[in-house]
């Protein structure tokens, strides 16, 4: 079978023109009958890797899936695309099962879904041995590994496939990336010289934000309001928290439903269904919710408390934006969360408890860090980060501002820790610093300390946060059972003014709620039409009792609202519209579009946007980003741009941006290490002639003798001299 045939299948059934990364390679190994292990992040498009080639090969592909809900969802989705697929499971009667068996025998069924325990029964194995099985696809393959987060002993039985079907290839798919799990899957399934494909774990369409929980409900509503009428998940640590939050949200008029293991099965299924069919927008849940939820258009995932590990966080937050459309992941945490988890996990046997606590610490480090969130996540999963700022997290887009007098604040905090003889926790230290009259403080006489009230004018929340940040930068460490705060050797150097900390606080005006990539992807989209099409989708989904996103995904609706096709052939051009869906829903959607556009005299049949040439994200100009700040100590040492670029593993062009921030932020006037005297004078004389407003005239006047970057550096330094000629 030629790859072109797969391409054709992709277009005809799914309406896609191109493959996502690694899909082509993964499909190729299926076509070549070579065992494979495919590791891709959630939303990476794993299912298509076996679904598409199943249509290009003779016989039936057998797909193993751990959950009924997951199977049903996939089969519904395939049938909607016109693919002959079915599942057999315990909910089916014997007549239904016989019918499926007949479809397999006649060769008309292309994909057959079942649970591992059903597949390995002698009866099923005997039946399949007499059929033309094209290949086995093992979904959620990490379930076979005791090292995975979701071990299912029934997966172990799948080993038998290799022996019973020596000539049929076995393909495993998972989103769990650790090496140990990967190796385990290969051994347990007995894969032979498998092709191993590991995708990129960076999910660029997800916006990651972290904030302290201060007015939890308000912070939550702010997110939900921004995604009015769209789907989202809110995770809480405890059931009580789920119930409380749902009640509050409903009182405020939000369409929210709870989900946790303390509810009856019926109630849970009802709420989950309401969420999938979009009769409810928000599901508030414990981690009991999510496994097997394939809903592709979840637009936000808010954690109202800290998850217990980064693995959990990646998986739960990763349920947002599977369709590749932007989505937001927001973590709201408090120091108390750590205590709550420690209490809940405290009864584990010692070894497991140590492991759990160490995972918690890593999670806490993520929450309090001042480095790019995407970078931390990707690196946690063993991949290296070679990009610059991600432009999609609170740190990189600058919704955190760098505190000006970080050194002085840092010194005040550390000396207070010393005055308290390093015997208290971060909460207590912050209270002393802001001059709290708390009973405990008065009783201990700590209001008499010279450091009491030293940061009186600042918010306690900020001070508390800075203590964490000083910790994650190695100036402080927490010790012992009570997490008492101690000053490290580095911290002592900071006290002597030899080292500079970086402290961040929420920027005044949150100009970064949406990044550029978000606004870009809505370019040319008529929001009203998008809403109208979503309404239409919801009605169709209700009639057919399928989840809404099975009708069309968000990305497809958005494309429709941008191109506004007025005819069936034009609709077929939209990504995500295949032949079957065109036949089933085409007329209704064209009707909807034409009616909407004629009433408003909106143009139709607009050409699709060309993917814009990837412009590298630029560091924010107003406040330096945390990435830029990391270069400051290097510039303090007068290192050149190239040297800094090498040390930080960044492009020189990026580092020039950092240097500009550095000069502005540190009010540097002497830029001789980076611009030589002659060039400086040239720029200065050009400024005399053409002013400082725009770069282009300066550059042109100098006829290319000085680069744009150098001009920028000179300008920044001159501005620091408040209009005076620069001291040079």
67 binds, options Zn ion, ligand ADP, none, Cβ within 5 to 8 A by partner type: none
16 binds, options ligand ADP, Zn ion, none, Cβ within 5 to 8 A by partner type: ligand ADP
Q: Nearest 5°: phi and psi at 391?
A: 65, 15
42 binds, options ligand ADP, Zn ion, none, Cβ within 5 to 8 A by partner type: ligand ADP
> What is the spatial distance between Cα 535 and Cα 255, in angstroms, rounded to a whole number?
16
Residue placing its CB nearer to ligand ADP in the complex, 47 or 661: 47
- Decide if residue 43 touches ligand ADP (CB under 6 A): yes
19 binds, options ligand ADP, Zn ion, none, Cβ within 5 to 8 A by partner type: ligand ADP
Q: Angle 426-433/460-472 helices, nearest 10 degrees?
A: 130
Q: How many CB atoms lie within 10 A of CB 373?
A: 24
b/e map of 443-457 (b: 16 or more CB within 10 Å)?
A: eeebeebebbebbee
> What is the spatial distance between Cα 496 and Cα 726, in angstroms, rounded to a whole number?
30
Identify residues 229-288 at the interface with Zn ion (CB under 5 A).
none
Q: Angle 373-380/310-317 helices, nearest 10 degrees?
A: 110
Residue placing its CB nearer to Zn ion in the complex, 293 or 393: 393
The full 3-state SS of 274-329, as one line of letters, equals HHHCCCCCEEEECCCCCCCCCCCCEEEEEECCCCCCHHHHHHHHCCCCCCCCCEEE
396 binds, options ligand ADP, Zn ion, none, Cβ within 5 to 8 A by partner type: Zn ion
For the record, the structure tokens of 129 come out as 């041995």
Of the candidates 76, 140, 278, 294, which one interacts with ligand ADP according to CB under 6 A? 294
Residue placing its CB nearer to Zn ion in the complex, 393 or 525: 393
Helix, strand, coil content of the chain in percent (nearest 5): 50, 10, 40
- Decide if residue 296 touches ligand ADP (CB under 6 A): yes
Identify residues 439-468 at the interface with Zn ion (CB under 5 A).
none
Half-sphere exposure in the Cβ direction for 364 (13 Å, CA): 22
Q: Nearest 5°: phi and psi at 135?
A: -170, 165
> What is the spatial distance between Cα 171 and Cα 191, in angstroms, rounded to a whole number?
8
Residue placing its CB nearer to Zn ion in the complex, 387 or 492: 387
- Decide if residue 48 touches ligand ADP (CB under 6 A): yes
Identify residues 388-407 at the interface with Zn ion (CB under 5 A).
390, 393, 396
Find out whether 662 and 631 touch, Cβ atoms under 8 Å.
Answer: yes
Residue 669 burial (C-beta neighbours within 10 Å; 0-12, 13-18, 19+):
middle
Of the candidates 6, 13, 30, 46, which one interacts with ligand ADP according to CB under 6 A? 46
Task: Look at the chain and count its residues.
Answer: 728
- Decide if residue 322 touches ligand ADP (CB under 6 A): yes
First to last CA, the chain: 70
Size of the site for Zn ion (CB under 5 A): 5
Least Cβ distance, residue 296 to ligand ADP (angstroms): 4
- Decide if residue 686 touches ligand ADP (CB under 6 A): no
Instruction: Specify which residues 133 forms β-bridges with.
Output: 60
- Decide if residue 547 touches ligand ADP (CB under 6 A): no
- Decide if residue 42 touches ligand ADP (CB under 6 A): yes
Residue 472 burial (C-beta neighbours within 10 Å; 0-12, 13-18, 19+):
middle
- Decide if residue 45 touches ligand ADP (CB under 6 A): yes
Least Cβ distance, residue 20 to ligand ADP (angstroms): 5
- Residues 322, 262, 68, CA angle at the centre, nearest 5°? 45
- Decide if residue 44 touches ligand ADP (CB under 6 A): yes
Applying CB under 6 A, which part among 35-43, 128-136, 390-398, 686-694 lies near ligand ADP? Answer: 35-43
> What is the spatial distance between Cα 580 and Cα 12, in angstroms, rounded to a whole number?
8
- Decide if residue 75 touches ligand ADP (CB under 6 A): no
Helix ranges, 328-400 (H)? 335-345, 350-368, 373-380
**Cα dihedral 552→557→563→565 (10° resolution):** 50
Find out whether 686 and 658 touch, Cβ atoms under 8 Å.
Answer: no
Least Cβ distance, residue 219 to Zn ion (angstroms): 20
Applying CB under 6 A, which part among 38-46, 81-89, 305-313, 510-518 lies near ligand ADP? Answer: 38-46
For the record, the structure tokens of 200 come out as 């990129």
Residue placing its CB nearer to Zn ion in the complex, 49 or 390: 390
Sign for the CA dihedral angle at 290, 291, 297, 299 comes to positive
Residue placing its CB nearer to Zn ion in the complex, 395 or 683: 395
- Decide if residue 372 touches Zn ion (CB under 5 A): yes
372 binds, options Zn ion, ligand ADP, none, Cβ within 5 to 8 A by partner type: Zn ion
Residue placing its CB nearer to Zn ion in the complex, 367 or 561: 367
Identify residues 243-282 at the interface with ligand ADP (CB under 6 A).
none
> What is the spatial distance between Cα 353 and Cα 526, in angstroms, rounded to a whole number?
52
Residue placing its CB nearer to ligand ADP in the complex, 79 or 500: 79
323 binds, options ligand ADP, Zn ion, none, Cβ within 5 to 8 A by partner type: ligand ADP
Residue placing its CB nearer to ligand ADP in the complex, 110 or 464: 110
Least Cβ distance, residue 419 to ligand ADP (angstroms): 53
Applying CB under 6 A, which part among 125-133, 176-184, 322-330, 471-479 lies near ligand ADP? Answer: 322-330
Residue placing its CB nearer to ligand ADP in the complex, 46 or 330: 46
Identify residues 9-28 at the interface with ligand ADP (CB under 6 A).
16, 18-20, 23
Q: Whose structure tokens read 């107003």? A: 622
Size of the site for ligand ADP (CB under 6 A): 19
Least Cβ distance, residue 125 to Zn ion (angstroms): 49
Residue placing its CB nearer to Zn ion in the complex, 392 or 686: 392
**DSSP code at position 152:** -
For the record, the structure tokens of 419 come out as 């005055």
Residue placing its CB nearer to Zn ion in the complex, 210 or 237: 210
Sign for the CA dihedral angle at 140, 141, 145, 151 comes to positive
Applying CB under 6 A, which part among 29-37, 106-114, 318-326, 438-446 lies near ligand ADP? Answer: 318-326
Residue placing its CB nearer to ligand ADP in the complex, 70 or 414: 70
Find out whether 206 and 320 touch, Cβ atoms under 8 Å.
Answer: yes
Least Cβ distance, residue 605 to Zn ion (angstroms): 38
Strands (E), 426-466: none
Identify residues 396-415 at the interface with ligand ADP (CB under 6 A).
none
Least Cβ distance, residue 385 to Zn ion (angstroms): 9
Radius of gyration of the chain (CA): 29
Alpha carbon 341 to its chain centroid, in Å, reads 23
Q: Nearest 5°: phi and psi at 256?
A: -125, 145
Identify residues 552-571 at the interface with ligand ADP (CB under 6 A).
553
Least Cβ distance, residue 506 to ligand ADP (angstroms): 33
241 binds, options ligand ADP, Zn ion, none, Cβ within 5 to 8 A by partner type: none
429 binds, options Zn ion, ligand ADP, none, Cβ within 5 to 8 A by partner type: none
Applying CB under 6 A, which part among 320-328, 392-400, 671-679, 701-709 lies near ligand ADP? Answer: 320-328
Residues in contact with Zn ion by CB under 5 A are 372, 374, 390, 393, 396
Residues in contact with ligand ADP by CB under 6 A are 16, 18-20, 23, 40, 42-48, 294, 296, 322-324, 553
């Amino acid at each position: 079978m030629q790859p072109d045939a797969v391409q054709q299948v992709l277009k005809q059934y799914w309406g896609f023109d191109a493959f996502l990364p690694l899909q082509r390679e993964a499909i190729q190994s299926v076509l070549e009958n070579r065992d494979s292990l495919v590791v891709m992040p959630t939303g990476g498009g794993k299912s298509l890797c076996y679904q598409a080639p199943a249509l290009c090969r003779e016989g039936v592909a057998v797909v193993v899936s751990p959950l009924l809900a997951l199977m049903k969802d996939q089969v519904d989705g395939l049938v909607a695309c016109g693919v002959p697929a079915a599942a057999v499971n315990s909910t089916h009667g014997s007549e239904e099962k016989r019918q499926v068996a007949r479809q397999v025998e006649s060769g008309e069924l292309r994909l057959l879904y079942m649970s591992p325990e059903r597949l390995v029964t002698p009866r099923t194995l005997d039946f399949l041995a007499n059929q033309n099985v094209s290949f086995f696809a093992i979904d959620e393959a990490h379930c076979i590994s005791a090292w995975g987060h979701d071990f299912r002993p029934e997966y172990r039985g799948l080993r038998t496939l290799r022996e019973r079907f020596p000539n049929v290839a076995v393909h495993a798919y998972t989103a769990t990336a650790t090496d140990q799990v990967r190796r385990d899957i290969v051994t347990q399934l007995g894969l032979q010289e498998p092709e191993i494909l590991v995708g990129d774990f960076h999910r660029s369409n997800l916006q990651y934000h972290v904030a302290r929980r201060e007015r939890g409900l308000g912070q939550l509503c702010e997110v939900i309001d921004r995604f009015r009428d769209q789907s989202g998940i809110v995770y809480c640590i405890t059931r009580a928290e789920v119930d409380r939050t749902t009640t509050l949200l409903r009182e405020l008029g939000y369409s929210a439903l709870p989900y946790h293991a303390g509810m009856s099965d019926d109630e849970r299924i009802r709420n989950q269904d309401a969420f999938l069919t979009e009769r409810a927008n928000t599901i508030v849940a414990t981690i009991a919710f999510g496994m097997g939820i394939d809903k592709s258009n979840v637009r936000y995932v808010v954690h109202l408390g800290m998850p217990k590990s980064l693995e959990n966080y990646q998986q739960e937050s990763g349920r947002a934006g599977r369709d590749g459309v932007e989505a937001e992941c927001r973590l709201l945490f408090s120091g108390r969360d750590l205590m709550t988890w420690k209490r809940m996990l405290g009864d584990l046997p010692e070894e497991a408890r140590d492991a759990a606590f160490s995972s918690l610490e890593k999670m806490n480090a993520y929450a309090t860090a001042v480095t790019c969130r995407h970078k931390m996540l990707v690196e946690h999963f063993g991949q290296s980060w070679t990009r610059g700022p991600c432009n999609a997290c609170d740190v990189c887009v600058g919704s955190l501002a760098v505190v000006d007098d970080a050194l002085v604040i840092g010194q005040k905090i550390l000396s207070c820790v010393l005055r308290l003889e390093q015997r208290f926790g971060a909460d207590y230290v912050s209270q002393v610093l802001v001059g709290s009259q708390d009973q405990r403080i008065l009783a201990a006489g700590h209001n008499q300390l010279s450091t009491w009230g030293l940061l009186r004018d600042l918010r306690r929340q900020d001070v508390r946060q800075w203590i964490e940040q000083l910790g994650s930068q190695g100036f402080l460490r927490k010790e012992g059972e009570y997490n008492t705060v101690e000053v490290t050797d580095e911290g002592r150097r900071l006290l002597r003014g030899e080292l500079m900390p970086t402290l961040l606080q929420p920027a005044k005006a949150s100009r970064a709620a949406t990044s550029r990539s978000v606004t870009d992807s809505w370019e040319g989209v008529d929001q009203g039409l998008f809403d109208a099409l979503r309404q239409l989708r919801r009605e169709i989904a209700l009639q057919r009792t399928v989840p809404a996103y099975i009708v069309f995904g968000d990305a497809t609706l958005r494309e429709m609202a941008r191109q506004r096709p007025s005819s069936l052939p034009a609709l077929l051009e939209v990504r995500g519209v295949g032949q079957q869906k065109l036949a089933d829903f085409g007329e209704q959607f064209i009707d909807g579009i034409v009616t909407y556009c004629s009433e408003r005299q909106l143009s139709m049949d607009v050409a699709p946007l060309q993917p814009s040439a990837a412009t590298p994200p630029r560091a924010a100009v107003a406040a330096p980003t945390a990435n830029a700040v990391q270069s400051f100590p290097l510039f303090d040492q007068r290192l050149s741009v190239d040297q800094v670029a090498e040390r930080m593993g960044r492009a020189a062009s990026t580092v020039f941006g950092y240097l500009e921030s550095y000069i502005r932020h540190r009010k540097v006037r002497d830029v001789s290490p980076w611009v030589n005297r002659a060039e400086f004078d040239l720029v200065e004389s050009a400024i005399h002639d053409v002013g400082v407003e725009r770069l282009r005239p300066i550059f042109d006047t100098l006829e290319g003798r000085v680069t744009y970057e150098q001009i920028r550096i000179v300008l920044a330094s001159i501005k620091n001299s408040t209009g005076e000629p620069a001291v040079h």
